[in-house]
Amino acid sequence: MSGLTIAQKIIKAHLVEGEMIKGSPIGLRIDQTLTQDATGTMAYLEFEAMGIPRVKTELSVAYIDHNTLQNGFMNADDHLYIRTCAKKYGLYFSRPGNGICHQVHLERFGVPGKTLIGSDSHTPTGGGLGMLAFGAGGLDVAVAMGGGAYHITMPEMVRVNLTGKLNDWVSAKDVILEVLRRLSVKGGVGRIIEYGGEGVKTLSVPERGTITNMGAELGASTSVFPSDENTRLFLAAQGRAEQFVELSADEDAEYDLVIDIDLSTLVPAAACPHSPDNVKSIEEIGAIKVDQVCIGSCTNSSFVDLMKVAHILKGKTVNEGVSLSIAPGSKQVYNMLAACGALSWMIDAGARILESACGPCIGMGQSPQSAGVSLRTFNRNFLGRSGTKDAQVYLVSPETAAISALTGVLTDPRTLGAMPEFPMPSVFAVNDNMIAKPASVEDAAEVEVVRGPNIKPFPESRPLEESISCECILKVGDNITTDHIMPAGAKILPYRSNIPYLSNFCFEVCDEEFPARAKEKNGGIIIGGENYGQGSSREHAALVPLYLGVKAVIAKSFARIHAANLVNAGILPLTFANPEDYDALSLGDKLVISDARACIKEGREIVLSANGKNIKLVSSLSGRDIDIILAGGLLEYTKAN
Ligand code: MIC
Ligand code: SF4
C-alpha cells in the first residue's frame, strides 16, 4: 500500500461514512464551520428548522463581512438575526468591521489538520494553514453545525510541485494565476489540489492562503499546503503556537496528476475579462489605460500584501485618471497598518480607504464607470459582478495593482527595481474584542432570536414527482456562474433573506424575461452547458430556481458545490449521456421524463422525450443523494431521519 497525501491523511482521520476510494461517496466529521452574512441567514434559518438547540462542532463562527452597506433596514436586520442566533446556539460572532471571514479565520481560528466547511466558496483559504476546508451550501453547513457529516465524492489528488523562489515583485497571486492558466476554471472539478516541493518553504501562510483561496476558481474541491515551520511561525505570531501540528504528504503518496511549477520562472500576470482562467502576462497584455484599481478581498488583503502596496504608494499620488480603493482584510491588518504609519502613506497618496469587508469584490459599491477598466486584486471577474455590465475587470496581484494606480496604465511591478524585504511580522497585533462569545448553555435559554421583516421563510421543496412534464424555460451556454443565476451586488444582496424578492433578478444577466416566464409556465427545466453553476457557494442559486418552480437542470457538466445545492434544494441535476444532444433542445420545447422517480430510485436509465426524440440522460446521484432528492431536499430528508 502506498503512502498518503495530506488530504488523504485528514480525510482518513475524519471519515465517518464510506471508503477512501476515488469517486465514491464519503462522509466527513466536521470540526469547524463558518458562515458569512450573505449566506448565513439561510444557514441559521435551516439550522433552526432542524430543531437542534446548540451547535455540536468544536468551533463555529458567524462572520459579518458581505452586506455592510446598510442602505435600508435589511442588512442590519440580518446582522441582528445572525448575532442573536450565534449567542443562543453557541457560535462565536465576528462583528461587522472585524474583517473578511477567510482572512480572520486564518488569523484567529484555523488549525492544521482540522476539517472546516463554510457557506462561502473561498473557505479553502484555510488550506494555507494545512486545514481541509471546503466551501458548501448553507444547508450542508447547518447539518454540520448540528453534528452531521459533510458528504462529498472522494476526489482525485493533484500535486503541484513548487521549486525555486519567486523573483522580486512576483507574487503568490501570480502562482495561482499560472495554475488557472494551465488547468482552467474546470480543471479542479472532482480534485483536491495539494502543494508540495522545496518551493513551499519560500511561501508564508498568508501567501499560501492566496493560492488556496483561488483554488475555488479552478472548481477544485479544495486546496491544501503542508503544515511546516512557516505554519508554526504564523501561528506563534498570532499567539496560537500551541495549535501547531506538523503535516506533510508521505514520500510515496500517489497522485493522479502532478504539475511542476518553478517559481523563479513566473512573471506578473493578470486574468483578463471575464474569466479567472483567461490569464496572460502583464507584458503580453500591454500598457492598457486603467480607470479604477481595487485592492483587498479575501485573496489579497493580508498585512504583508498591504505593506507592499503602502511602500509602492509612499510619497506618490494616485494617477489623475484612476480611482484607487483599498480594503484591509481584517481589523488586525488595518490596525497594524495604522500603527506603523503605512495607512497614512496610502491615505496621503490618495487611496480611498474602505472598511474591512468584501465591499467591491461582491459589487457592494465601487462599481466602475461604463466600459471602465478595473484592476482588482480579487478572485473573480465574471461578467457584471462589479455592478457595471460592460466593465473590463482584470485580476492582478497587489504589487501590479499599486504600481498601475500610480502610472494610470497596466504596469509590470518589476519596473520598480530591486524589492526591499517584506517579512511576515513575528508578532501580529492580537485583540479579539470584536469577536463576541456565545452565551453559556445556562444563559442561552434567555437569549431571544430577533427576526426583522426582511427575514422571510425559505421556499418549500417538493418530493420528486413520478414523471416530469414541463417546458424548457431557459437554455444557457458553458461556464454559467452563480453570479449569472443569482446575481449579487448592492441592489440585490440586501435581500438574501427574502427569496420571493430575489426571484425577480434570477438570470438577469442572461435573460431578463426569465423570472416572468418561469412564473407564467409554472416552472420547468433549465438546459445548461459545461461547468454549470461555477463560482459562489450561494444556495440562493438553487433556492430561487426552486421558488420559481425549476424541477430539473440538465447540463453537460456541473460545478461541485452548485450540484450539491441543487440536490439539497430538491432540484434534479442531470447530465447528457451524449453532450451533442444539448444542440437538439431549445427554449419552449415540451420536455417529458417518464417515471423519473422510479428511474432515480432504482438507478434505471433516464430518458428525456423532446421533439419526438429520445435523449439519454445520466444521474450521478449516490445513495444518500437519491434519498434526498426523493424526499424533496436535504431539510425534509434530515427532518425525516
Ligand atoms: C462570492 O465571492 O461570490 C461570495 C459572495 O463570497 C459567495 C458567497 C455568496 O454568494 O454569498 C461565495 O464565494 O460563495
Ligand atoms: Fe468576500 Fe469577495 Fe472573498 Fe467572496 S470572494 S468572500 S465576496 S472578499
* Gap from CA of 62 to ligand 1 centroid (Å): 15
With beta carbons less than 8 A apart as the criterion, state whether 87 and 438 touch.
yes
Cα within 13 Å of Cα(249), Cβ side: 24
Q: Please, what's the b/e burial string for 102-120 (b: 16 or more CB within 10 A of its CB; e: otherwise)?
A: bbbbbbbbbbbbbbbbbbb
Which pLDDT score, from 0 to 100, does residue 458 have? 77
Which pLDDT score, from 0 to 100, does residue 1 have? 67
Class of CATH domain 468-640: alpha beta
Distance, CA of 554 to CA of 575 (rounded, Å): 5
> Is 536 tagged catalytic?
yes
Nearest residue CA, atom 11 of ligand 1?
38
With beta carbons less than 8 A apart as the criterion, state whether 91 and 55 touch.
yes
Phi-psi region of 3 (alpha: psi -120 to 50; beta: other; left: phi over 0): beta
> What's the one-letter identity of residue 237?
A
Nearest residue CA, atom 4 of ligand 1?
536
With beta carbons less than 8 A apart as the criterion, state whether 310 and 340 touch.
no
Nearest residue CA, atom 12 of ligand 1?
536
> From the CB of 101, is ligand 1 less than 6 Å away?
no
Alpha helical stretches, state H, 341-486: 342-349, 398-407, 441-444, 482-485
Q: Helix, strand, or coil here: 258?
A: strand
- CA dihedral over 303, 305, 310, 311, signed as positive or negative: positive
DSSP annotation of 555 reads E
> From the CB of 214, is ligand 1 less than 6 Å away?
no
3-state percent breakdown (helix, strand, coil) of the chain, nearest 5: 35, 20, 45
With beta carbons less than 8 A apart as the criterion, state whether 127 and 224 touch.
yes
Which ligand 1 atom minimizes the distance to the CA of 36? 11
> Is 627 tagged catalytic?
no
Pick from 483, 547, 548: nearest CA to 514: 548
6-265: which CATH architecture? 2-Layer Sandwich (3.30)
- Cross-sheet strand order for the sheet of 25-28: 15-17, 25-28, 150-153
CA angle 615, 619, 620 (to 5 degrees): 145
Cross-strand pairs, 60: 33
Distance, CA of 128 to CA of 126 (rounded, Å): 5
Which pLDDT score, from 0 to 100, does residue 622 have? 86
Phi-psi region of 395 (alpha: psi -120 to 50; beta: other; left: phi over 0): beta
Pick from 180, 185, 245, 237: nearest CA to 210: 180
With beta carbons less than 8 A apart as the criterion, state whether 119 and 39 touch.
yes
Pick from 2, 307, 296, 5: nearest CA to 130: 5
Nearest residue CA, atom 2 of ligand 2?
361
> From the CB of 102, is ligand 1 less than 6 Å away?
no
With beta carbons less than 8 A apart as the criterion, state whether 539 and 39 touch.
yes
Which pLDDT score, from 0 to 100, does residue 2 have? 86
Q: 2 exposed, middle or buried (CB, 10 Å; 0-12, 13-18, 19+)?
A: exposed
* Gap from CA of 299 to ligand 2 centroid (Å): 8
> What's the one-letter identity of residue 155?
P
Ligand 2 pocket mutation, candidates 37, 66, 212, 386, criterion most atoms within 8 A of CB: 66
> Is 538 tagged catalytic?
yes
Which ligand 1 atom minimizes the distance to the CA of 135? 14
Pick from 399, 5, 11, 50: nearest CA to 207: 399
- Cross-sheet strand order for the sheet of 323-326: 279-281, 269-271, 392-395, 373-376, 292-295, 323-326, 352-353
Distance, CA of 610 to CA of 623 (rounded, Å): 28
Neighbours of 399 (CB within 10 A): 28
> From the CB of 379, is ligand 2 less than 6 Å away?
yes
* Gap from CA of 587 to ligand 2 centroid (Å): 34
158 phi, psi to nearest 5 deg:
-115, 135
Neighbours of 602 (CB within 10 A): 9
Q: Splitting the chain (641 residues) into consecutive groups of 10 residues, what average pLDDT does each group show? A: 94 98 97 98 95 97 96 94 98 98 98 98 98 98 97 98 98 98 97 98 98 98 98 98 98 98 98 98 98 98 98 98 98 98 98 98 97 98 95 98 99 98 97 98 97 86 94 98 95 93 95 98 98 97 97 98 97 98 98 97 96 96 94 91 81
Asked, colleague to colleague, whether 6-265 and 468-640 share their fold, the answer is no
* Gap from CA of 391 to ligand 1 centroid (Å): 20
pLDDT digits (tens, 9 = 90+) for 279-308: 999 999 999 999 999 999 999 999 999 999
Which ligand 1 atom minimizes the distance to the CA of 66? 5
Which ligand 2 atom minimizes the distance to the CA of 36? 6
Which ligand 2 atom minimizes the distance to the CA of 120? 6
pTM beyond 0.75, yes or no: yes
> From the CB of 247, is ligand 2 less than 6 Å away?
no
* Number of helical (H) and strand (E) elements in the chain, helices listed first: 22, 27
> From the CB of 35, is ligand 1 less than 6 Å away?
no
Neighbours of 339 (CB within 10 A): 10
269-413: which CATH architecture? 2-Layer Sandwich (3.30)
Question: First CA to last CA across the chain, in angstroms?
Answer: 37
Nearest residue CA, atom 3 of ligand 1?
536
Distance, CA of 468 to CA of 570 (rounded, Å): 13
Among candidate residues 120, 174, 483, 581, the one labeled active-site is 120
Nearest residue CA, atom 7 of ligand 2?
362
* Gap from CA of 358 to ligand 1 centroid (Å): 10
> From the CB of 39, is ligand 2 less than 6 Å away?
no
Distance, CA of 148 to CA of 424 (rounded, Å): 38
Among candidate residues 14, 79, 108, 380, the one labeled active-site is 380
Nearest residue CA, atom 7 of ligand 1?
536
- Cross-sheet strand order for the sheet of 156-163: 222-224, 191-196, 156-163, 257-262
> Is 65 tagged catalytic?
yes
Ligand 2 pocket mutation, candidates 64, 94, 122, criterion most atoms within 8 A of CB: 122
> From the CB of 488, is ligand 1 less than 6 Å away?
yes
Cross-strand pairs, 395: 271, 376
Parse the chain into domains and list their residue ranges: 6-265, 269-413, 468-640
Q: Helix, strand, or coil here: 156?
A: strand
Ligand 1 pocket mutation, candidates 66, 222, 539, criterion most atoms within 8 A of CB: 66
> From the CB of 120, is ligand 2 less than 6 Å away?
yes
Among candidate residues 37, 65, 77, 412, the one labeled active-site is 65
> From the CB of 38, is ligand 1 less than 6 Å away?
yes
Q: Is the peptide bond before 274 cis (omega within 30 degrees of 0)?
A: yes
Among candidate residues 66, 79, 108, 624, the one labeled active-site is 66
